[in-house]
Structure 1
Amino acid sequence: MASTLIKQSSILKTLTGGLRFFASKELISSIVGSDIVSAAPDVSLPKACSYDEGVSSKFATTPLHDIFKGKKVVIFGIPGAFTGVCSAQHVPSYKTNVDKFKAKGIESIVCVSVNDPYVMHGWAEKLEAKNVIDFYGDFDASFHKSLSSDLTIDLSGALLGTRSHRWSAYVDDGIVKILNVEEAPSDFKVSGADHMLTQLHYHEIVSKKLTN
């Protein structure tokens, strides 16, 4: 019995990122299990595009329902396009593992940042990642705030203003199943692709045990 409890505790610790980072138990419990679409019924996100494309589409945005409902989605949030860790580590970690995520049934990988969609477009093209990752701009931080105000951070000291913490999540049919939030915007410990793939592996094991 003790051995079983230890193993279950280890699995839960892996799924939650250990709870030793910025994400408190309260923050995780308030978001994990919630429906992203229901939490923000009036929020929609502009997909990365050039300004001319924005004008042509009459500045169309995508409802959260279209992004998440009926799909298995991995989403990660970044402090800012064209910044160090985001460009050198975070996006590349997902770009190089797209096939592994597809093998686990993930239908789309989403990157979102408190930036306008035009900056996100330029950044995605520079990283040559636009064809494998869906980039969205949360220009007024309404998406992040709808999940939790604790997902935003004041980075005025770095001349960035209100931004997003670095985080990642697995969302199944709109329901948040896994959430990771880094302790600091410069950290890259729990929000990358490798960690998420490990979590998805354990999530599959737990799900199978629960259904058997």
Structure 2
Amino acid sequence: MTIAVGDKIPAATLMRMVDGAPSPITTEELFSGKTVVMFALPGAFTPTCSAKHLPGFVQMADAIKDKGVDSIVCMSVNDVFVMNAWGKDQHVDDKVVLVADGNADFTKRLGLELDATKFGMGLRSQRFALVAKDGTVTQLHIEQPGEFRVSSADHVLASL
């Protein structure tokens, strides 16, 4: 079942890089008491994700945060080392928190998995963006297959 507006973010543990070492972070730590924009994408270093999706949020981070957002989180079904290298490559700095859902546990709990085995990519996340306030989803923007519109930084910013 796919998460919906009004639902609580499910409990899960994701990974991020802290001081050069993999470090777990729970969804409670990410979302509790905050307004968070989380966007997810099929994979780090993939064409649309690297050319448009992540760069848009990096470029618009200040404008999004000016709308009352405490943090912007990018999640992908990749390992934490790939996400860290991608963040460096994309010059993310502290504008966006990159988290890895290496085993797709969180993605499955959201009901937003994508079977990309025909592309040799295995199980991934659908492309989406959500806004959550204190762990409750207030907006959910799920892309149609092959599209990049409603989960873009432009669209999310306009919806805040």
Flag structure 2 segments of 5+ consecutive residues without an equivalent: none
Equivalent residue number for residue 52 of structure 2: 89
Equivalent residue number for residue 152 of structure 2: 192
1:102 alignment partner, one of 59, 62, 65: 65
Equivalent residue number for residue 16 of structure 1: none
Give 1:49 shift.
5.5
TM-score computed with the length of structure 1 as normaliser: 0.72
Instruction: Spell out the pairing of 1:1-212 with structure 2 (5 A cutoff).
Output: 27=2, 30-36=3-9, 39-40=10-11, 43-48=12-17, 53-54=21-22, 60-148=23-111, 151-184=112-145, 186-200=146-160
Return the index of the structure with the highest Cα Rg. Answer: 1
Paired AA for residue 92 in structure 1 = P
Q: Share of identical aligned residues, percent?
A: 38
Q: Is the 8 A contact 1:49 1:117 kept in 2?
A: no
CA shift digits 1:83-126 (9 cap, x unpaired): 00000000111111111112111010000000000000000100
Q: Is the 8 A contact 1:48 1:137 kept in 2?
A: no
3-state SS in 1 of match to 2:37 = strand
Give 1:146 shift.
1.1
3-state SS in 2 of match to 1:170 = strand
CA shift digits 1:39-95 (9 cap, x unpaired): 32xx21111468x623xxxxx311111100000100000000000000000011111
3-state SS in 1 of match to 2:73 = strand
CA shift digits 1:113-147 (9 cap, x unpaired): 00000000000100001321000000011111112
Paired AA for residue 21 in structure 2 = E
TM-score computed with the length of structure 2 as normaliser: 0.94
> Aligned Cα RMSD in Å?
1.5
Matched residues in 1 for 2:108 and 2:18: separation?
23
Matched residues in 2 for 1:65 and 1:159: separation?
32
Matched residues in 2 for 1:133 and 1:71: separation?
15
Q: Which runs of 4+ in 1 moved over 4 A?
A: none
How many pairs are equivalent? Answer: 160
Q: Is the 8 A contact 1:49 1:121 kept in 2?
A: no
Matched residues in 2 for 1:198 and 1:160: separation?
32
